[in-house]
Amino acid sequence: MQLIAFDFDGTLSEGEMIVELATEVGHRSQISEITQKGMRGEISFGESLNLRTGLLKGLSEENAGRVYQNTFLRPGMGELLENLKEKNIKIAIITGGFLEGVERALENSDTSVDWIVANDLMVEKGHLTGEVRGELIHKSKREALDKICTMAKIPIEQVVAIGDGANDIPMLERAGFSIGFRPKMIVKEYCDVVVDTVGELRDLLAEKNIL
């Protein structure tokens, strides 16, 4: 295997970045409910994202920045990413979450990846507008993965995809090997293997001679 494509929220990171942002504007429960509907596949990811980001309208850029600063990888994930890089494995993060938070989480763990495909929340006059832009609003994670593989000249058969939610299904189906990290029920049938901890993931990658 040459490339591992990770989801971020719920996979590399324990929490959901957008839920933490929603807490700042008093809409945590509403956004959590919409997030779970999207993760279960009850509504499309694009619809889910637009509904949720709309509730963030008015949040100050300063408060959003504080949330990003407190975004972290799961314990042990930073070390795992570094170990993969030592084995010359390329790493991509393909997420419907937000670039600034992903970048800050990687900085907090003193690590980096080769590609990040994420969305951006729009800001005007120091506050979120409730609008979002990015490749993964109207396109699937499969398309994002294919684009990376084309650029890097990596056969899709030599790609591992790791995710947990319904919007991860296109890349899990596409990759040569798919791993569910505590996946939602609807996602499990698209996974070759399911793991529940970073330790289990590390052991699996070692068993597959990736680590």
Task: Please provide residue 102's backbone torsions phi and psi, each rounded to the nearest 5 degrees.
Answer: -60, -45
The answer to whether 164 is a known catalytic residue is no
Which residue is it, tokens 């330790």? 199
Given the residues 7, 164, 196, 203, select the one marked as catalytic.
7
State the Cα–Cα distance between residues 15 and 2, nearest whole angstrom.
28
The answer to whether 9 is a known catalytic residue is yes
User: Do 178 and 52 contact (CB within 8 A), yes or no?
Assistant: no
Calculate ∠ Cα 91-94-97, nearest 5°.
Answer: 130
Residues serving a catalytic function are 7, 9
